[in-house]
Amino acid sequence: MQEVIKKLLQPNDTKIVFCVLDGLGGLPQSGKTELEAANTPNLDALAQKSACGQHLPVAYGITPGSGAAHLGLFGYDPLIHQIGRGLLEALGLGLHITPNDIAIRGNFATVKYEGDTPVVVDRRAGRIPTEENRRIVSKITEKIKEVDGVKVNMVSGMEHRSAIVLSFPEPIGERGDEIHDTDPQLEGKSPIIATGNNPEAEKVAKVIAKFVDQVAEIISDEERANYLLLRGIATHPNLASYSEAYGLNAACIATYPMYRGVSKLVGMEVLEVGENSIKSEIETLKRDFDKHDFFYMHIKKVDSYGEDGNFQGKAGVIEEFDSFVPDILALNPDVIVVTGDHSTPANMKAHSWHPVPLLINAKNVRAEGAQGFGESDCLKGELGTFRAVDLMTLVLAHAGRLQKYGA
């Protein structure tokens, strides 16, 4: 659809506020979901004046990861486009990724050597403390700045995890695709040596293999983390930017690095947020409201409580967001979207496939059906149930930014 949309774009001065409550969708306890149980007078009043419905993040029955779910919301079909695991990890740790880069998730491991051959004893190096991880990563980054002219950037994650970005002098293109993980998945096996499936990819794989060897030498004296296994070797998805795809000057208001990173991938300007709170995000929206025409605002903790199985905690964050809805309304945006990227029912302590409630508040809506903002109401709403990838088309339509299709 993005090709169709591109031909129909007509610029105007409308402003769109696109609020994503991470993991918003839920399942009932005592007959009500987290969103329905939450006391949300402002969202309920807004839903009564909005077009409501529910979206399927990827497709029926598919539980999305955060990256895939956000691609869908942003209008890039997650069944076509992918954000590789390594890329997501690197973005989550705040690394910047360009089309020249390969992003990799690194797991410290314990190996023993049979002759010169390493054999994996523990794929997670006994889940070393994060502090130990940081010390070892420093040791590596002090010694390895580049490999064969390819710049190396490595940062620690939690416990045994890290992210590595290899920056080539030119766009990496397809050369970085389908390079196999070096993690053999099973203990008692040797790490796999990175190989590419064509001569150009092979050159890239050789850089990776050389990096692994150099790391192995540097950390060979470590007791537990004496090897680095690589997973999810990934390149930049080369998505059309929001400006190219939608003619929007978009901004991201998010506090977690991964969501800031995903926004950057689609060309949003990532705004500085004072502290990790909804209040601070709303202040950012107010501060920069005249500088952009599309604001993606991400509220993380709804999902976090869902993952913890904390029904009340999840409802509480929704209530906190609700209390700031009047501040958003006071800015008088032309279109307000409130939805989630996926469902995270407290009952399941995990992401799920359930459709996600959605409201679009704008001038030209039927505003029928919804008495409040919740799963049951949205099910009856005028927008019906549809794939998230179609949401941006609806948003642009409600913003008056699309011309008529066809003669």
Q: Does 158 bind a second copy (CB under 8 A)?
A: no
Half-sphere exposure of 257 (CA within 13 A, CB side): 12
Query: DSSP letter string over 173-221?
Result: GGGGTTPPPS--SSTTSPPPPP--SSHHHHHHHHHHHHHHHHHHHHTTT
Q: Does 9 bind a second copy (CB under 8 A)?
A: no
Q: Does 289 bind a second copy (CB under 8 A)?
A: no
Least Å distance between CB 404 and a second copy?
A: 5
| 178 conformational bin, left if phi > 0, alpha if psi -120 to 50, beta if neither | left
Least Å distance between CB 352 and a second copy?
A: 7
| 17 conformational bin, left if phi > 0, alpha if psi -120 to 50, beta if neither | beta
Q: Which of residues 197-256 bind a second copy (CB under 8 A)?
A: 232
Least Å distance between CB 363 and a second copy?
A: 8
DSSP 25: B
Place of tokens 């906190």: 320
Residue 25 sits at φ, ψ, to 5 deg, of: -60, 145
Can you tell me which of 11, 13, 60, 80 binds a second copy, judged by CB under 8 A?
60
- Between residues 186 and 330, which has the closer beta carbon with respect to a second copy? 186
Q: Per CB under 8 A, which region of 108-116, 205-213, 291-299, 381-389 contacts a second copy?
A: 381-389
d(Cα 271, Cα 98) in Å, to the nearest integer? Answer: 19
Asked if 219 and 228 count as a contact pair (C-beta separation under 8 A), the reply is yes
| 320 conformational bin, left if phi > 0, alpha if psi -120 to 50, beta if neither | alpha
Q: Does 1 bind a second copy (CB under 8 A)?
A: yes
Q: Per CB under 8 A, which region of 121-129, 132-140, 205-213, 392-400 contacts a second copy?
A: 392-400
Asked if 74 and 353 count as a contact pair (C-beta separation under 8 A), the reply is no
Can you tell me which of 73, 253, 254, 394 binds a second copy, judged by CB under 8 A?
394
Q: Does 402 bind a second copy (CB under 8 A)?
A: yes
Distances from the Cα of 175 to the Cα of 165, 196, 303, angstroms? 15, 8, 36
Using CB under 8 A as the binding criterion, the count of chain residues that bind a second copy stands at 65
Q: Which of residues 16-45 bind a second copy (CB under 8 A)?
A: 27-28, 33
Q: Does 404 bind a second copy (CB under 8 A)?
A: yes
Least Å distance between CB 169 and a second copy?
A: 27
Asked if 273 and 255 count as a contact pair (C-beta separation under 8 A), the reply is yes
- Between residues 26 and 118, which has the closer beta carbon with respect to a second copy? 26
d(Cα 351, Cα 342) in Å, to the nearest integer? Answer: 7
Q: Which of residues 318-347 bind a second copy (CB under 8 A)?
A: 345, 347
Residue 199 sits at φ, ψ, to 5 deg, of: -55, -40
Residue type, 187: E
d(Cα 20, Cα 43) in Å, to the nearest integer? Answer: 13
Q: Does 121 bind a second copy (CB under 8 A)?
A: no
Q: Per CB under 8 A, which region of 9-17, 118-126, 315-323, 361-369 contacts a second copy?
A: 361-369
Least Å distance between CB 402 and a second copy?
A: 6
Q: Does 175 bind a second copy (CB under 8 A)?
A: no
Binding site for a second copy (CB under 8 A): 1, 4, 8, 27-28, 33, 58-69, 71, 78-79, 82-85, 87-89, 232, 345, 347-348, 351-355, 364-369, 375-376, 379-380, 382, 384-386, 390-391, 393-398, 402-407
